[in-house]
Amino acid sequence: MKKFKSKKRITLKKTKYLFYLFIIVFICTFTFKYLNNIKYASNNKEFIEYLLEDSNHYKNYDNSIKKMIYKVSNLISRFDTNKPVTLLESKFLYKSNSKEVELVKTNNTENVSIKENNVIEESNELNKENKPVVYIYNTHQTEEYAYGNLKEFGITPDVMMASYLLEDRLSKKGIKVLVEERKMSDYLKKNNWDYNMSYYASRVYAQGVLSSNSTDLIIDLHRDALSKDLSTTTINGKNYAKILFVVGGKPSTYAENIKVVNALNDLVKQNYPSLTRGILTRKESTYNQDLSNHSILLELGAQENTIDEVMNTVEVMADVIANYLGGINGK
């Protein structure tokens, strides 16, 4: 009888240990499966592409396990969760340049001249293929949108995110796009300039790109400061962030730039008349639009718009820009 009880206890212990072992193996396999499927962004473009994977335009994790793994992956990837903007502007993604650029200040704070014996900032080669080229930059890179559903992930949607979203949609239409990733803040800091000098920094970067690339459209993408009711429109049950085209009236290129803006605005009004707030011309401003005769400043939404509303507008603008570029390129 004692031997029987002893064997029974041993059998129960073995069963218990096997059960624990099964649980451990299951947990390890489950964890490995999710960790193995985590995608790490090696650059800002990839990060935005991952955000675009589902219909809500960002990773909408539906349970706590996925949220936990997402946060762990952020930690491993060295994103600073205390500074959400670093998800889009993290320093290890920034390509520094050892070549110095010397600026000569003028009385007009929007104008910058570069001495001929200095080399302009490095730029990317874009026009290796015969395709329209769009250059998108953000003079005010840290202009933010409303957190919306991204708040729990520590992601701050901003105008740089909007730029990458627009790049993604244009690229899918076969249009070559370059989004400026170099930090305006780095250039301001290097020259001991404050935020009000941002147009100096964006000018240098733009000149570097334009010196070695042929472009069909240059967009300085901003977001406005308006109440939600003024910055949002509802079309067929969907909310959109309104847009405003801003043109500097001072440059000699104004006549050509306003033609571009009028063409784009007319295309928007054809199917989405309430989406555009129109065209604002500032006669005494430049906005670096003297650098090109196809340069525009686009205000996309305002501080209370969510990234979904911005994305809805990006979808429209991608179609508009594609149609415009097809027109000027004879397609």
DSSP string, 238-299: EEEE-EEEEEESSSTTHHHHHHHHHHHHHHHHHH-TTTEEEEEEETT--TTGGG-TTEEEEE
Query: What distance in Å separates the CA atoms of residue 296 and residue 266, rounded to the nearest whole number?
Result: 15
Tokens, residue 122: 């490095």
Confidence at residue 84, expressed as pLDDT on a 0 to 100 scale: 41
In terms of residues, how long is the chain? 331
Mean pLDDT of 122-150: 78
Q: Could you tell me where the DSSP H helices lie in 136-250?
A: 159-171, 184-190, 198-210, 228-231
Percent of the chain with pLDDT over 70: 64
Confidence at residue 269, expressed as pLDDT on a 0 to 100 scale: 97
CATH class of 96-328: alpha beta
- Model confidence at 39: pLDDT above 80: no
CB 159 within 8 A of CB 141: yes
Tokens, residue 296: 């525009």
- Model confidence at 180: pLDDT above 90: yes
Is 305 or 55 the better-scoring residue by pLDDT?
A: 305
Confidence at residue 6, expressed as pLDDT on a 0 to 100 scale: 60
User: Would you tell me how many other CB atoms lie within 10 Å of the CB of residue 195?
Assistant: 10
Tokens, residue 202: 């964006």
Confidence band, pLDDT 50/70/90 cuts, at residue 166: very high
Nearest to 179 by CA among 165, 158, 164, 169: 164
Mean pLDDT of 56-62: 37
